Amino acid sequence: MLKIEHLSKTFNPGTVNEKTAIHDLNLHLLPGDFVTIIGSNGAGKSTLFNAIAGDFMADTGSITLDGRDITFVPSHKRSKNIGRLFQDPMRGSAPHMTIEENLSMASGRGGWLSHITRADRAVFRERLALLGMGLEDRMRQPVGLLSGGQRQALTLLMATFCPPKLLMLDEHTAALDPATAEKVLEITKNTVEQYHITTLMVTHNMHQALELGNRTLMMDGGNIVLDVSGETRAKMTVSDLLAQFRLGSGKDLDNDRILLS
């Protein structure tokens, strides 16, 4: 589904601030893969997501999504096939526009000069109701009035309204309180399962990294240092994972927000 070959990116080359964020990274995802990614601060997790989404052009290497080379495709065109959620719940929706207007943008229904129709509203209502947050009765309210959890759930709905080929979740529950985070994670799991979306998820929760999905990657220094799936992963504990990380990178996992339990 997603194939990344020899991807490299160096920021501020030739200056004192030179930083190699990604170094000769290779990754191959199968359709329906749900991959969790963990790694220390500055390991290149977010840079990898930005490269896949097209926020910047990589220095070398290629990115292929579902058989199509997207290395030089601009980000707004990639977003047709790639859904993305950030840690900040505010980033995914326009606060001064109503819920239905935000959904209308995300749904991609109708031409440039089309209005939101009654049929659109019915579909929005139905999909919002599935979130179980009562948002279906607040469709004409500005999104800015929603709580962080509600906004993140809405963003998830917007990102998956037309199921994308790839969903990238960058610690999307980290800024939410535990109960809301649990709820948003539940919605995420259901959505991904329902539409069989290939998913990449960065998390700082080691337990979650092993429990969710079918494959776990560990990143360090701009590359993947550990890639476990199947039988090996099923038997793994958090301390195994940490030990493996030490073997792979030659140092302890250093992430100021890491949750070991």
Partner 1 sequence: MDLLAVLGLGQTALELGLICSLTTLALFLSYSMLNVCDLSTDGCFTLGAAVGAVVAISGHPLLSIPAAMLAGMCSGFVTAFLQTRMGVDSLLAGIIVNTGLYSINIAIMGGSSLLNMNKTTTVFTMAKSALANTPLAGQYDLLTVIAAVALMLVILVLFLKTKLGLSIQATGDNPDMVRSSSVSPIFTTTVGLCLSNSLTGLSGCLLAQSQKSVNIDIGSGMLTIALASLLIGRTLMGRGGIPIRAVGMLVGSFIFRLVYTIALRFNMPGFMLKLVSSIIVVLAIFLPYLKSRSPEIARQLSVRFPRLFPAKGRETAGKEG
CA 150 – CA 139 distance, rounded (Å): 12
- Considering only residues 69 to 88 of the shown chain, the ones binding partner 1 according to CB under 8 A are 74-77, 79-80, 83-84
> Could you say whether residue 93 binds partner 1 (CB under 8 A)?
yes
Q: Which residues pair with 65 in a beta bridge?
A: 2, 68
- 105 forms part of the interface with partner 1 (CB under 8 A): yes
C-alpha to C-alpha distance for 162 and 151, rounded to whole angstroms: 18
CA 151 – CA 104 distance, rounded (Å) = 15
Q: Are 141 and 99 in contact (CB under 8 A)?
A: yes
AA letter at 181: A
Shorter beta-carbon distance to partner 1: residue 14 or 111: 111
199 binds partner 1 (CB under 8 A): no
- 170: nearest Cα among 63, 242, 83, 254: 83
CA distance 26 to 21: 14
Binding window for partner 1 (CB under 8 A); candidates: 26-34, 101-109, 190-198, 232-240: 101-109
The set of residues, in sequence order, having a beta carbon less than 8 Å from that of 7 and lying 6+ positions away, is 22, 24, 25, 26, 48, 51, 58, 60, 61, 62, 63
Residue 118 makes contact with partner 1 by CB under 8 A: no
Name the one range near partner 1 by CB under 8 A: 93-101, 191-199, 201-209, 229-237.
93-101
Which candidate, 203, 191, 129, 184, places its Cα nearest to that of 162? Answer: 191
Stretch that binds partner 1, among 94-102, 190-198, 221-229, 234-242 (CB under 8 A): 94-102
Q: Do 109 and 161 form a contact (C-beta atoms < 8 A)?
A: no
* 115 DSSP assignment: P
Structure token pair of residue 192: 């991904």
Work out how close the CB of 160 gets to partner 1 at its nearest, in angstroms, rounded to a whole number. Answer: 12
The reply on whether position 175 binds partner 1 by CB under 8 A is: no
| Residue 28 or 140 with smaller CB distance to partner 1 | 140
196: contact with partner 1 by CB under 8 A:
no
Q: Closest by alpha carbon to 39, among 211, 170, 219?
A: 219
Taking CB under 8 A as the criterion, the residue among 12, 15, 115, 252 binding partner 1 is: 115
**Span from 6-14, 99-107, 130-138, 215-223 in contact with partner 1 (CB under 8 A):** 99-107
- Contact pattern for partner 1 over residues 22 through 61, marking x by CB under 8 A: ----------------------------------------
Nearer to partner 1, 80 or 235 (CB): 80
Residues in contact with partner 1 by the rule CB under 8 A:
74-77, 79-80, 83-84, 91-97, 101-102, 104-106, 108, 110-116, 158-159
